[in-house]
Structure 1
């Protein structure tokens, strides 16, 4: 077959028990737009030198046995929108040439063995919406450059060796070793829907999330060392569905005002220093709350029956059960 004259545009061999060694011949298809080889554990070898292409839009070899270093030639895929290399055996540094993928929207390099720093060329990826770098051995300082990625929706840096933060864009950074408190700019990005920074060593006051109206639906700050009170700015997160502040050192009274968040379904405040009565003069709303965890705090007083009657979403079919036992 003369690959140079092939009109093949779409190749999807995912989850087909594909075996053997990945060769460069597949990248010689001149009109190829989509190449999906993922979920084939027995596909081995290294990623060959990639020939320049202005047609390839999506490349996925996720969850294969491909190993070795990511070649600099990856940056010659000038039209690439999606690159999935998650769950392979890549090692070495992420090449600076990754910054040449200026049309890319989704970049997944998680679950590999990458080392070194996040490339300084990342800010060139202006259209990036999803960046996943979790479960590697990346380290050093998290650069301020993420603030330039205005379209970013999710950024996962969990399970690495980062030790400092210069400037944090809203993102997922769970299970690292950060020790600096978080800048308040975290909660003002209009496109952000999920913020997950669980299981780090963040300290200081809780960030002033949602100082402006945002798209946030999930905020998970569990397992840090946050102190102080729950910021009133959370009331601006009108679409918030999940709020997990558990396992910190927050010292505040029960934040009854959160009951006005009409979409809130999960509220976890466990293992903090909340204190005082849970009942207050404020009306307890929480119309859609389904998970409510206040354990291991210092609350006092009683829980009136009217308090539970407001949790209609917890009852079968959302009906109000007035007989509480």
Structure 2
């Protein structure tokens, strides 16, 4: 190469080490669907490549920003040669493999974001040499091991994120020395031990999350004194203790305060009503007691209020008076109060709650009375749960106006009347639970209009009439259909074969009749099939052999007959089979499910034979012998001999008459033919008697 051409190349590209490191990265990229790397070629200076920013003076790479570019690949160790880098932004891609220790050579680095990738291995300890770091985001990867103890040198950090990995060990107390921290996340890891009290020194902290770990002990009082906190999540650990009574004054800037799925006890502090900007207050699944503060309506910004599954309430009639106060929270989207001890009736003011409400759960309490008709004002409701109370009266017909409803649970109450046909208007409904009430009348056919329904449970009521074929035509039913323990009549419609995605069908304990439809064989996803306690008759359809994933089959207490089909022994997924109290007959196999007597029941079928010894069934051979012996008893033999004697005399007279008639007409029968006829009659009689 000539000196002139060499100088031209240097002037064009310059800083060959930077260019080489970038090309190493390009070679490590295995998938680039957005063609980001297409600009990384010799036609332009590397400082003009996509995602690369250089210093305007010395033309060295300062920023590498490839965030959210759908890239797949790994980081080369040569990236540590980009010694002027101040920012590496590779978040929200599909990079994998370990972080090279060579990144510790980037002494000017201030921002390192590798979050939302698939990096694995231990966190590179040499990053501790990057003492100018302000942002270190490693969240949502597959890192393992502990937080490197060398990281205590990163005292200038403002943001530190370890969330969503597989890290173990304890939270290092020296992080309390990072006085500039504003965001700190340990969420969704496997950290154990207690929350270090030293973290209470982080006076600038705005976000603190330890959600989804195995932390124990109490929350240090010093944490509750970080007045700058706006986001504070303790959810899903093993923490205990009580919430400080003055928490509403020491954490006045909170917007999110979450501590669900722990072991917190004591009352809900009334001071929480003073945090005017609070949007999320969620302490579901704890052991909180007492009443709900009556002035929660002061929380005008409240969006989510969830205290499901605690021990709140006393069973008194005024337990839910707070709902009247919550009507002031015009942005409220989630109200969760299920699984407590609230008494009284559902207040009419429920209908005045925010029309932004999407989730309302009041189930498993001590509530009585009816469902307020004003419920139809909550037009954006997606989830309504009032199950497990003592509610009575009927299901309001205007519930069909809740067009956004996807989940409706009113089961385990004392509701009566009929199922409102207006439920058929709920086109987004996926799960409907109405079991264990006192509902009567027929099943509305227009439930078949709920084309997204995956679960329908109407069991344990007083429903009558036939099963609408429209309901059985809902191919969306994929989880289960339970109509058991009612008084339904008529056949099981052939349309049941449309339920090709259904895994559980229970129509047991009704008064259904007719044959088991062969169309059931089309339900190829079926795992549990319960038809017991009806009046089905006929044989077991051969088509059921197509149900290869069937684990439970109950046909007990019907009027079924015939042999037990051999294919049942070939359904290798079958774990329990109940054929008891029918009229099955013939041989019981010993293969498949019939090889283990604890996995099937054939009680109450008196004409079965063979099978396992522990069943104590007669052999099929002795069954035939017993039948022969029954024929030779005097009670059977005397009438039989009398009948046969009469038959011999009758045939002899008939032969004589026939002979005379033929002789009279000058027709002579061969003697041998007549003799053979008589021998044949005698032989048949002897055989009959011997057998």
TM-score by length of 1: 0.83
Which residue is equivalent to 1:316?
Answer: none
Q: Which has the higher contact order (CA 8 A, sep 6+)?
A: 1
The match for 1:21 is 319
Contact 1:141–1:162 under 8 Å retained in 2:
yes
CA separation in 1, counterparts of 2:558 and 2:306? 48
Return closer, same or farther for 1:213/1:73 CA change in 2, 3 Å cut-off. Answer: same
Q: Deviations over 1:170-193 (max 9, x none)?
A: 521111112222212124224422
Distance across 2 between alignment mates of 1:240 and 1:55: 43
Give per-residue Cα distances to partners, 1:277-319, cap 9 Å, x unaligned: 123xxx93349976211111134332268xxxxxxxxxxxxxx
Structural mapping, 1:118-137, within 5 Å: 118-137=419-438
Preserved CA contact (<8 Å) 1:47 1:67: no
**What is the alpha-carbon root mean square deviation over aligned residues?**
2.6
Q: 3-state SS of the aligned residue for 2:484?
A: coil
Q: Distance in 2 between matches of 1:218 and 1:119?
A: 29
Q: 2:338 aligned with 1:38, yes or no?
A: yes
* 1:83 positional shift: 1.5
Deviation at 1:18, TM superposition (A): 2.1
Is 1:143 aligned to 2:444, yes or no? yes
Say which is worse superposed, 102-111 or 41-50, in terms of deviation: 41-50
- Tell me: CA distance 1:43–1:85, structure 2 relative to 1, closer, same or farther (3 Å): same
Distance 1:35 1:105, change over 3 A: same
Residue 300 of structure 1 pairs with residue 577 of structure 2: no
Contact 2:508–2:533 under 8 Å retained in 1 = yes
CA distance in 1, matches of 2:453, 2:395: 19
What is the distance in 2 between the residues matched to 1:239 and 1:188?
17
Unaligned runs of 5+ in 2: 1-272, 274-296, 473-480, 614-691
**Separation in structure 1 between the aligned mates of residue 612 and residue 510 of structure 2, nearest angstrom:** 36
Q: 2:307 aligns with which of 12, 23, 26?
A: 12
Change beyond 3 A, Cα 1:42–1:54: closer
Q: Secondary structure at the match of 2:525?
A: coil
* SS of alignment partner, residue 10 of structure 1: strand
Residue 285 (structure 1) aligns with: 592
| Range with bigger deviation, 33-42 or 215-224 | 33-42
Are 2:467 and 2:493, in contact at CA under 8 Å, matched by a contact in 1?
no
Pair 73,224 (structure 1): closer, same or farther in 2 beyond 3 Å = same
Bigger Rg, structure 1 or 2 = 2
Conserved 8 A contact 2:491-2:515: yes
Specify whether residues 273 and 70 from structure 1 end up closer, same or farther in structure 2 by C-alpha distance, changes over 3 A only: same
- 2:106 is aligned to none
Aligned residue in 2 for 1:165: 466
Contact 2:593–2:600 (8 Å) recurs in 1: no
Q: CA deviation at 1:131?
A: 1.4
Tell me which moved more, 58-67 or 163-172.
163-172
Describe the shift of the 1:201–1:28 C-alpha distance in structure 2 as closer, same or farther (beyond 3 A).
Answer: farther
Q: CA deviation at 1:78?
A: 2.4
CA contact (8 A) 1:263 1:288 kept: no
Tell me what 1:73 maps to: 374
Q: 2:508 aligns with which of 158, 178, 198?
A: 198
Q: 1:180 to 1:68 in 2, by over 3 A?
A: same
Say whether residues 1:226 and 2:554 are aligned partners.
Answer: no
Distance 1:191 1:38 in 2: 31
Is the CA contact (8 Å cut-off) linking 1:134 and 1:158 kept in structure 2?
yes
Q: Does 1:94 align with 2:389?
A: no
CA distance in 2, matches of 1:103, 1:42: 27
Q: Deviations over 1:246-275 (max 9, x none)?
A: 111111211221233332111111111111
User: Which residue of 571, 585, 594 maps to 1:275?
Assistant: 585
Which one of 78, 91, 116 corresponds to residue 417 of structure 2? 116
Structure 1 pair 274/143, CA: closer, same or farther in 2 (3 Å)? same
- Which of residues 546, 551, 566 in structure 2 aligns to 1:256? 566
Taking the aligned partners of 1:188 and 1:258, their CA distance within structure 2 comes to 23
The answer for the alignment partner of 1:103 in structure 2 is: 404
- Answer yes or no: is the 8 Å Cα contact 2:300–2:328 preserved in 1: no
- Is the contact made by 1:85 and 1:109 (CA closer than 8 Å) also made in structure 2? yes
Map Cα deviations across residues 117-164 of structure 1 (whole Å, 9 max, x no partner). 111111122232321212222111222122222332332222222221
1:83 to 373, 384, 390: 384
**Superposition TM-score, scaled by structure 2 size:** 0.41
- For the residues of structure 1 that align with 2:335 and 2:575, how far apart are their CA atoms? 40
Contact in 1 for aligned 2:420/2:444 (Cα 8 Å): no
Give 1:3 deviation, angstroms.
Answer: 4.0
What displacement does 1:27 show?
4.3
Any conservation in 2 of the 1:143–1:166 contact (CA below 8 Å)? no
Q: Report the CA distance shift for 1:245/1:28 in structure 2 as closer, same or farther (over 3 A).
A: farther
- Out of 477, 482, 488, the position equivalent to 1:178 is 488
Contact 1:21 1:44 in 2 (8 A): yes
C-alpha change, 1:166 and 1:291, in structure 2 (3 Å) is closer
1:314 aligned residue? none
Structure 1 stretches lacking a partner, 5+ long:
306-325
| Aligned residues between the structures | 303
